Structure 1
C-alpha cells in the first residue's frame, strides 16, 4: 500500500531533482536507487562540482587538491522531499572538451536517505516520533489482533471456523522523558482472487513507537531503532534485523475541515542497520526465545533494558556482536566472548580486591624498592590490586541462578581455569597449542552463555525461567552437552 513504511529489504527508485542546500537554485536531474545489498546510489544527469582546487593567479596552473564530499544533498522526487546524508562521489564521467555538448554524469553513494523530509544534517532535531519494526517483534510482544476458531462439535472438526480481529491496546512506558509504546497496526480484510483459488488476507504488524519529550534527529532515531533491535536480539538469541524505520516530522500538525487533527507528515529512513530484516521470512520457533512480554511485561523490561544497556553497554555490544556478525575464526570469538565477560564484571562493579588497600600499598612499595630506578615506573603500573580473569569468571558464574549454571556446565572451576589459560595463551603467545579446537568452541559457547545469563539476571528474569532456557533452548542445550564433554576435569585432576 502507498502509505506503508518502506521495507529495508526491498529495492526502490526515485527520479527527481537534486541540489546542495546552500545552492538550491542549481538543481540537477537524477535518479536515486536503493538496493538492500548495495545501499543508496544517486546517478545525476549533470554534476555537482566535486573537485577541490587552488585559486591560482592569472597565468598560473590550477592544481587539483582532492575530491569534495557532502554532508547533505536535498532532492524532490515522487512528490516527496528527500534528504541524503553522508554523500561521497563514487564514479561518473567529466569532460573538459567534447565534440558534442552533453551533460556530465555523476554517481554518488549515500549513507542514509530520509524519504519525506528535508533536514540540515544528522543532528537536525526535525522529528517528533520514531516507529520501528524489527524481526520477530510480534512473537516477542506475545499479542496479536487475531484470534481463530475451528468448529468441532463432539470433538470432530466440521469445516466451520472464523478469524476474528480485535484491536490490541497499546502498552506504554516512559523512560528518561521518552515514551515507548508497543503497538499493532492491521489492515482491513480483503480477498485476493487468483486463477485457481481465492485467498483472504489481513496483516498484523507489531512495532515500537518512541515519542521523546523534545524533537530529535535522524541519528537519534537510528539509536532508538538500535535500542529496540538489541533488545529483540538478546531475547531471541539471534540477529534480529530492522525491517523498517519511520519518523514523524515535527511541526507538521494540521486540522481537517471537520475539526479533527490530520495525520502528521511522515518520513521513511533507508540505511544499513547492524542486521537487515526480512519482512516476509518465517518467524523463529518460539522455543528459541529467552523471554517475551508475557514473562517480562513491556512496561517492566523496557526501563530495565535501557538502564542495563546503558550501564553495561560495552559488554552487551561485544556479546551481541557475536550474533550480528559472528567471526569465522574461533580465536576471534574467544577474545570477544572472554573480553565481554571481563568488561561485564567491571561494569557490574563487583570487584573484590585480592589484598586490603593498606597492605597492598606496603607490599608494592617494598617490591618497588628492589627495582632499579629506571624500571620503577613500568613495574609500578604492572603491579595492580585487581582480580585475575579466573576470579572474574568465578564471580560471574556465581550471579545467575545456580541450578541454571549447574545445568549449563558441570565444572565451573575447570571452565574458569581452561578459559583463562586459552585467553592468556592466545593474547601473550599468539596461539593456543594446549587446546583442541573443540575445546575452544566449548569455551566460547559457555562463556557467551554465562554473560547472557548475567544480563538476563540483571533484567530480572526469574530463576525458574533461567533454568528453563538452559534446559529447553536448542542452542544452550547443545552448549551444555559440549561443556559436559570438553570442560570437565579428568578423573584424578583437581
Structure 2
C-alpha cells in the first residue's frame, strides 16, 4: 500500500533535486538511495562546495584548508519533501582539466532521512506524534484483530473452520504527560488466485503510537522509539529490532477543507537503530518471552517502565547490550554483568552504610591521625563508608521473589563471593585464574538473571510469574542448572 510506513529492512530510492537550506535556488539533481545494511547515500550530478579555502597567500593562491559537512540538506523527490541530516561528503569529482567537459559528481553519506517534510534540524519541534513498530510487539501486547476456530464436532475434525476479524479498541495510558497507545492496523481480505491454488490473506500490524503533550523533535522521537525497543527487548529476553518509525508533522491542518478533514501528514524516518528489525522474520516462540500484557496489563506496565527506564537506564543498557552484542569474550561479559548489578543497586537507592555516619567519622579520624601528613589526603580518599560489591549482590538477590531466587541458584552466598572474586581478579590482576570457564559462564548468566528479575520486580511482575520464568524459560532454566553445578559451596554440594 502506498500509505504503508517504510520498513527499515527494505531498500528505497528517490530521484529529485537537492539543495542547502541557505541557498534554495542552487538545486542539484541526484539520487538518494537507502540500503538496510549500508544506510543512506546521496549521489549528486553536480556538487555542493565541500572545500574550506583559506585566505589567499602572498602569491594570490587560495589554499585548501579542510572539508565541509552539512547538518541539513533539503530535497524534493518522488512527490515528497525530504530532509537529510548529518551529511558528510565522501567523494567529489570535478571535471576541471579534462579534454571534454563533463558534469561534476559528488557522493554524500547521510545519517538520517525524513521522507515527507522539510525540517530545520533534528532538534526542531516539528512533530506531534510518533508511531513505532518493533519486532515481536504484536506478541507482547497479546491482542489481535484475528480470531479463528476449527470445526470438530464430537472431537473429530470435519474440515470446517473460519477466521473472523474484529477491530481492537486501542489500549491507551498517559505516563509522565505522554500518551502511549497500542494500535492495530489491518488490511481488508484479499484473495490471491493462482493457477493451482487460491490463497486468502489479511494482515494485522500492531504498533505503538506516542503522543507527547507538546510538539517534539526528531531527537525526542528517537528516544521514544528506543524506550519501546528496550521494553520489548527486556520482555522477550533478546535483541528487538525497529521495523519502522513514522512521525506526524505539526503542519497538518485539522480544519475541514471542502467538507473533509485534511489527512495526516506522515513523515517516514530512515536511520540506523541499535538493531534492524526484520518485518517478515518468524516471531519469537512464546515460551521464550518473559512477560506480555497478558501477565502485566499495558495500563500498568508503561508508566512503571517510563520511570524505571529513566532511573535504571545505565543498568538496563548494560544488560540489554549482552543481548545485542555477540557474546564472544567471557571477560567482557563478566565486567558488563557484574557492573550492571552494581549500577542497578546504586540506581535503586537502597544503599545501607556499613557504619553509622558518626561512628565512621570517628574511626576515620583516628586512622588518619596515625598516617604521615604527606600521605593523608591519599589515604583519606581511600576510606569510604560504602557497601562492598558482595554486599550489593546480596541486597539485589533479596529483592525479587525469594522462591524464584531459590529456584535460580541454591547458594546466594557462593554466587556473591565468586562473582566478586572474579570481577576483582580481572579488574586488578588482569586474569581470573581462580575460576574455570564453566564457572565464569555461570557467574555471568546468574548475575544477568538477578538483574533482570530485579527490573521485572520493579515493574510489578507477580511473584508467580517470576517463578514460572525461572522454571520454564529455556535460557533461565539452563542458567539454573549451571548454578546448581558450579555455584554451590562444598558443604552444600556434599
State the TM-score, normalizing by the size of structure 2. 0.98
Q: 1:488 maps to what in 2?
A: 488
How far apart are the structure 1 equivalents of 2:155 and 2:444?
50
| 1:86 to partner: Cα distance | 0.8
Q: 2:403 maps to what in 1?
A: 403
Q: 2:307 maps to what in 1?
A: 307
How far apart are the structure 1 equivalents of 2:117 and 2:306?
29
Q: 2:127 maps to what in 1?
A: 127
How far apart are the structure 1 equivalents of 2:424 and 2:285?
38
Secondary structure, counterpart of 2:491 in structure 1 = coil
| 1:72 to partner: Cα distance | 0.6
249-258 or 389-398, larger mean C-alpha shift: 249-258
Secondary structure, counterpart of 1:434 in structure 2 = coil
261-270 or 329-338, larger mean C-alpha shift: 261-270
Instruction: Say if 2:251 and 2:265, in contact at 8 Å, map to a contact too.
Output: no
Instruction: Report whether the alignment pairs 1:85 with 2:76.
Output: no
How far apart are the structure 2 equivalents of 1:251 and 1:266?
10
How far apart are the structure 2 equivalents of 1:24 and 1:149?
59
Instruction: Say if 1:326 and 1:333, in contact at 8 Å, map to a contact too.
Output: no
Secondary structure, counterpart of 1:140 in structure 2 = helix
How far apart are the structure 2 equivalents of 1:380 and 1:92?
59
| 1:258 to partner: Cα distance | 5.8
* Number of residue-to-residue matches in the alignment: 494
- The aligned runs of 1:316-335 (5 Å cut-off) are 316-335=316-335
Give the direction of change, closer, same or farther, for the CA distance of 1:327–1:377 in structure 2 (3 Å limit).
farther
166-175 or 99-108, larger mean C-alpha shift: 99-108
Q: 1:60 maps to what in 2?
A: 60
Secondary structure, counterpart of 1:26 in structure 2 = coil
Instruction: Say if 2:140 and 2:291, in contact at 8 Å, map to a contact too.
Output: yes
Instruction: Say if 1:53 and 1:62, in contact at 8 Å, map to a contact too.
Output: yes
| 1:57 to partner: Cα distance | 5.8
Instruction: Say if 1:6 and 1:268, in contact at 8 Å, map to a contact too.
Output: yes
How far apart are the structure 2 equivalents of 1:470 and 1:377?
48
327-336 or 165-174, larger mean C-alpha shift: 327-336
How far apart are the structure 1 equivalents of 2:133 and 2:197?
31
How far apart are the structure 2 equivalents of 1:130 and 1:355?
50
Give the direction of change, closer, same or farther, for the CA distance of 1:242–1:121 in structure 2 (3 Å limit).
same
| 1:254 to partner: Cα distance | 4.6
Q: 1:2 maps to what in 2?
A: 2
| 1:94 to partner: Cα distance | 2.6
Write out per-residue CA displacement over residues 242-275 of structure 1, whole angstroms, 9 at most, x where no aligned residue. Answer: 0000001112115555634222110100111111
Instruction: Say if 2:16 and 2:29, in contact at 8 Å, map to a contact too.
Output: yes
Secondary structure, counterpart of 1:23 in structure 2 = coil
Q: 2:479 maps to what in 1?
A: 479
How far apart are the structure 1 equivalents of 2:328 and 2:440?
13
Write out per-residue CA displacement over residues 295-317 of structure 1, whole angstroms, 9 at most, x where no aligned residue. Answer: 11111100000001111111111
Instruction: Report whether the alignment pairs 1:441 with 2:441.
Output: yes
| 1:196 to partner: Cα distance | 2.1
Write out per-residue CA displacement over residues 279-300 of structure 1, whole angstroms, 9 at most, x where no aligned residue. Answer: 0011111111111111111111
Instruction: Say if 2:57 and 2:63, in contact at 8 Å, map to a contact too.
Output: no
How far apart are the structure 2 equivalents of 1:421 and 1:41?
49
| 1:65 to partner: Cα distance | 1.4
Instruction: Say if 1:112 and 1:269, in contact at 8 Å, map to a contact too.
Output: yes
How far apart are the structure 2 equivalents of 1:31 and 1:347?
48
Secondary structure, counterpart of 2:25 in structure 1 = strand
State the TM-score, normalizing by the size of structure 1. 0.98
Q: 1:431 maps to what in 2?
A: 431
Q: 2:217 maps to what in 1?
A: 217
How far apart are the structure 2 equivalents of 1:394 and 1:492?
18
Q: 1:18 maps to what in 2?
A: 18
Q: 1:367 maps to what in 2?
A: 367
Q: 2:344 maps to what in 1?
A: 344
Instruction: Say if 2:237 and 2:323, in contact at 8 Å, map to a contact too.
Output: yes
How far apart are the structure 1 equivalents of 2:292 and 2:258?
42
How far apart are the structure 2 equivalents of 1:254 and 1:402?
54
How far apart are the structure 2 equivalents of 1:347 and 1:204?
39
